[in-house]
Amino acid sequence: MPITRIVKMVFRPEEIGKFQQLFAERKDHIRHFPGCRHLELWQDDKQKNVFFTYSIWDSEEYLDHYRFSGFFKETWTLTKALFAGKPEAWTLNQLVICEE
């Protein structure tokens, strides 16, 4: 069953550009990791140092395979160095689809 992963990250304002560059450099590799169906980066409308990643994975096993990879560990180490606060993460199962 596909899952959605949302991660909230709060960065020090002076590090926003570094994070955006890091994400731009690594997004294609993340997106093409086995089991990743979709990847987006969102920025809060009011608090410009608050970002969210939104990704869809084939299963939690695929997400875990990514999360325990060397690539993720390296990327997360570089990302954590830019944080202003503790990140939050949610893994969600879709229940209802509402389309127009």
For residue 98, being part of any structural domain is answered with: no
pLDDT tens digits for range 23-65 = 999 999 999 999 999 999 999 999 999 999 999 999 999 999 9
Range of the domain at 31: 3-92
CA dist., res. 100 & res. 38, Å (int) = 21
For residue 99, being part of any structural domain is answered with: no
What CATH number does residue 33 fall under?
3.30.70.100
Cα–Cα distances (Å) from 95 to 1, 9, 31, 35, in that order, read 11, 25, 24, 20
For residue 43, being part of any structural domain is answered with: yes
For residue 12, being part of any structural domain is answered with: yes
Say if pTM beats, i.e. exceeds, 0.95.
no
CA dist., res. 76 & res. 2, Å (int) = 23
For residue 88, being part of any structural domain is answered with: yes
Report the number of distinct structural domains present in the chain.
1
Cα–Cα distances (Å) from 83 to 9, 41, 48, 78, 99, in that order, read 7, 16, 13, 10, 36
- What are the helix and strand counts (H, E) for the chain? 3, 4
For residue 100, being part of any structural domain is answered with: no
CB of 5 closer than 8 Å to CB of 53: yes
**Pair of tokens at residue 97:** 């689809």
For residue 86, being part of any structural domain is answered with: yes
pLDDT tens digits for range 56-98 = 999 999 999 999 999 999 999 999 999 999 999 999 998 887 8
For residue 80, being part of any structural domain is answered with: yes
